[in-house]
Structure 1
Amino acid sequence: MGIFSRFTDIVNSNINSLLDKAEDPEKMVRLIIQEMEDTLVEVRSTSAKTIASKKELTRKITKLEQEAEDWQSKAELALSKDREDLARAALMEKQKAVDYASAVKEELAHIEEHIMKLQAETSQLQDKLSDAKARQKSILLRQQTVSSRLGVKKNLGSSKVEGALSRFESYERKIDNLEAQVESYDMGKKSLANEIAELEADESIENELEALKSKMNSKK
């Protein structure tokens, strides 16, 4: 038994409600789309047959109306020849054609009404089908996104990742230790630039000292 038992069930269905209740929304939406597509094929086939019937009835009405006109002409001809009996018989045949045409017109009106309703429902079905297909894409994208997130979560919690991070931190500590050793060897050592700067500072002080001595001697 399908998801929908009748055509109107599809048209009046609430796809959101069906998907919310489904244990496997992706599978459910596939089944909904499949049944809608199958129903649409059946509806279009029925529509084609109904339209063909409409054309056949239209042709029959035209033929009956032509027959009625022909009997009218025959009745007039018979009456012009003073054959009232033939004119009466011709008018009776005309009335039969008119009555038959009226009955066929009623049948045609019912078929046209049925076709209009079928077209409206088919349009609704196509809208539902488009909606279901859009939701199918959305569900697939959500599923892929969730699967990707789950993979990331699993990787973050895996022992491999934790082990790699631990080794990385260990390597960082080793590098820090090596850098500290290099810096300890350099402690207390003066660079060439520092030694020259110190010489320049000493010379400046000596010059200033000599200038001060000369100034003091000149005051004596």
Structure 2
Amino acid sequence: MGIFSRLADIVNSNLNAILANAEDPQKMIRLVIQEMEDTLVEVRSQAVRTIAERKQLERRVRTMMHEEDEWQRKAELAITRNRDDLAKAALAARHSVEKSREALEQQIAQVIEGLENQNDDIAKLQAKLADAKSREKALTMRARTAQGRLKTREKLYDTRIDDTLNRFEQVERALDELEGKAEAYDLGRRSGRPSLHDELAALETDAAVEDEFEALKRRVAEKKHDA
């Protein structure tokens, strides 16, 4: 059994109230859309049949109008031939066809009025269907966003991630200790070949000593000469 039972139920329905009272709005909006689409197909099919019926009635009306003209012509012909009895019979027949035609025209007017009302209902139904589909897209996007946020939060607050990170930290600390032990073995030791910094420092020291030595030799020589 559908959510709606008649076209008027859909046209007069309050979509907000339906969704507000639903346990699962996303599922409910999908059911509403399906019901609207099915009803729209049914209403259009009914409109096609009604239009066909109107066209058939209009053809019958045109046929009757031709019959009226024909009985009128026969009545005039009978009068010209002094056959008043036949003229009166032809006029009576024309009058009967006229009455039937007027009844059909009233029926056509009712059909046209029904089609106009049906057209208004279809327009309202299409507007509600468009609104429902728009809401369905919005609900789908909200559901996807909420599911994504839920998964992210679950990952953030998952204790297994914390345990894994703690294990990483333990491994890093163990590696730091190993690297520290390796570097400790080099403390206090010099490599067999001096570094560039050490060689330049030694060169500067040798030059200073050589200059000071030459200066000392000159002073000693000067003292000997003065003596």
Alignment TM class, shorter chain as reference: 0.7 to 0.9
1:145, CA displacement in angstroms? 3.0
1:5, CA displacement in angstroms? 4.2
* 1:149 match: secondary structure: helix
Partner of 1:118: 118
Q: Which whole-Å CA distance do the structure 1 matches of 2:77 and 2:104 have between them?
A: 28
The higher radius of gyration belongs to 2
- Give the alignment of 1:31-110 within 5 angstroms: 31-110=31-110
Amino acid across the alignment from 2:200: A
Task: State the percentage of identical aligned residues.
Answer: 40
Cα deviation 1:8-36 (Å, max 9, x = unaligned) = 23123332332123111122112212321
Q: Does 1:201 align with 2:207?
A: no
Q: Does 1:28 align with 2:31?
A: no
* 2:153 match: secondary structure: helix
Count residues with an aligned counterpart: 220
Q: Which whole-Å CA distance do the structure 1 matches of 2:69 and 2:144 have between them?
A: 72
1:61, CA displacement in angstroms? 0.5
Q: Which whole-Å CA distance do the structure 2 matches of 1:116 and 1:211 have between them?
A: 126
Cα deviation 1:65-122 (Å, max 9, x = unaligned) = 0110101110111111111221122122222222221221121112112112212211
Amino acid across the alignment from 2:171: Y
Q: Which whole-Å CA distance do the structure 2 matches of 1:84 and 1:9 have between them?
A: 61
Amino acid across the alignment from 1:199: A
Cα deviation 1:147-177 (Å, max 9, x = unaligned) = 2322232233233222111101111222233
Distance 1:113 1:211, change over 3 A: farther
Q: Which whole-Å CA distance do the structure 2 matches of 1:215 and 1:14 have between them?
A: 117
Q: Which whole-Å CA distance do the structure 2 matches of 1:205 and 1:86 have between them?
A: 159
Distance 1:17 1:114, change over 3 A: same
Q: Which whole-Å CA distance do the structure 2 matches of 1:216 and 1:105 have between them?
A: 147
Amino acid across the alignment from 1:194: H
Cα deviation 1:27-66 (Å, max 9, x = unaligned) = 2112212321232232123212211210111011011101
Partner of 2:146: 146
Q: Does 1:192 align with 2:165?
A: no
TM-score under structure 1 normalisation?
A: 0.84
Q: Which whole-Å CA distance do the structure 2 matches of 1:140 and 1:207 have between them?
A: 89
Structure 2, unmatched stretches of 5+, are none
Q: Which whole-Å CA distance do the structure 2 matches of 1:119 and 1:208 have between them?
A: 116
TM-score under structure 2 normalisation?
A: 0.81
Partner of 1:12: 12
Amino acid across the alignment from 1:192: S
1:219, CA displacement in angstroms? 9.9
